[in-house]
Amino acid sequence: MRRTSRREFLKAAAAGAVLLPLPAIAQGASARVVVVGGGFGGATCARFIKRIDPRVSVTLVETDRTFIACPFSNMVIAGLRELSAQQFGYDKLATDQVAVQFSPATGIDSQRRTVTLGNGAELAYDRLVLSPGIDIRWDALPGYTEAAAERIPHAWKAGEQTLLLRRQLEAIEDGGTVVISAPANPFRCPPGPYERASLIAYYLKTKKPKSKLIILDAKDAFSKQRLFENAWKALYPNLEWVALSKGGKVTSVDVGTMTLVTDFDRHKADVANVIPPQKAGRIAELAGVADRTGWCPIDPATFESKLQPNIHVVGDASIAGAMPKSAFSANAQAKVCAAAVAKLVAGSTPDEPRLINTCYSLVAPDYGISIEGVYRPADGQIKEIEGTGGVSPLDAPNATRALEATFANAWFKTITTEVFG
């Protein structure tokens, strides 16, 4: 009889971790978790799995070496903040013993449980966490192509697009017209288009007061609506919001003439910003975790995909019920998912979680408003706990608005420190 070497035995044991339905750690092998996407969801999840259970081997897969945060990027557009304040690196994740691979994930084999990277590497996993954020649906709005976005930025992923929109605003004449197109639900950062409109209006009021701003909306209602509308009435008389029912839905874009076309009108712009329809990041589709809506249905307690076992989805890409697609949500979901993954690979049962979201918007640099909610799993979905949540009071004094602006800044510092610091 042939003697099995130690190496062969370990190799067989490692293979067993994949083939047997037993949890990896119970067999003595270190469980392998791969996290794809290094934003607020993915970077948080990778770090917290490692912190909760240092025995788990965690690899974060991310294309870019520098992360550029979307929250507060509207301040960059309005010239009130520099893009460098939005940039973060992954060095601290490495010191937490998270292995970071800078290469795009190009394929996922959910049968063999492997992730293929653009650099040719193949990573095996026991549990996979996807936090791919959003992709633009380039097929959803006629005339709005990737090439068109070079002229009419979306600026819905922070970076060069953010700076492009800023430069265009800096270049327009006093008396020019800025037009923003806001999409139907669901999309990343529900109050984002209105914060952006507010801060652009602030810039125009300060620097180019004869200019006007129009928001063309594919909806009749939006997040923190009355708070925004009250503030606009008080601060920005040159800002006009056109609801869906008033013909606000943009049906096509003519980039050559800088025109946004609706059913009833053609809006020629000096600067246009199209916030287009979106879907889960492409890797979700490749993994088979996105449904016909383009987003990813998940178990509300563990964020495990309802379509593919052993794959979890957090952040903007997930269908998280009552939770909005926000950085705060992604971070809170990632911590719940990390705790669940740590329990699952150890063969125990995850707890029923509680989740919080708090989103601040700046109407002006010293004028903050907020929305929040507390959530729990119920009926297979994430639901807001009754009696919780809501928005800032409509009649608050200026001091409260200033305090919320201070808290908004504090939040950004705290969350980016937790994720990247």
Contact positions vs other proteins (CB under 8 A): 1, 3-4, 6, 9-10, 13, 25-29, 48, 51-55, 328, 331-332, 335-336, 339, 342, 351-356, 358, 370, 372-375, 385, 387-390, 392, 400, 403-404, 406-407, 409-411, 413-415, 417-418, 421
The Cα 76–Cα 85 span in angstroms is: 9
Between 139 and 366, CB nearer to other proteins = 366
Between 228 and 420, CB nearer to other proteins = 420
| Residues 6+ positions from 179 with CB-CB distance below 8 Å | 213, 214, 215, 216, 260, 267, 269, 271, 272, 273
Residues in the chain, total:
421
Query: How distant, in Å, are the alpha carbons of 130, 319, 345 from that of 187?
Result: 18, 11, 32
Between 261 and 356, CB nearer to other proteins = 356
Between 283 and 415, CB nearer to other proteins = 415
Between 16 and 143, CB nearer to other proteins = 16
- Integer-rounded Cα radius of gyration of the chain: 23
Question: 359 near 324, Cβ under 8 Å?
Answer: yes
Which burial class, exposed, middle or buried, applies to 147 when counting CB atoms under 10 A from its CB (0-12, 13-18, 19+)?
exposed
Strands, sheet with 127-130, edge to edge from the N-terminal-most edge strand: 99-102, 57-62, 32-36, 127-130, 311-313
Name the minimum Å distance from CB 355 to other proteins: 6
Q: Coil, strand or helix: which one is 105?
A: strand
Name the minimum Å distance from CB 301 to other proteins: 10
Name the minimum Å distance from CB 399 to other proteins: 11
**Residue 158 tokens, joined:** 């922070």
Between 32 and 219, CB nearer to other proteins = 32
Between 209 and 347, CB nearer to other proteins = 347
The Cα 340–Cα 354 span in angstroms is: 12
Name the minimum Å distance from CB 307 to other proteins: 26
Name the minimum Å distance from CB 73 to other proteins: 18
Name the minimum Å distance from CB 244 to other proteins: 29
Name the minimum Å distance from CB 76 to other proteins: 22
| Residues 6+ positions from 39 with CB-CB distance below 8 Å | 67, 131, 133, 315, 327, 330
| Residues 6+ positions from 348 with CB-CB distance below 8 Å | none
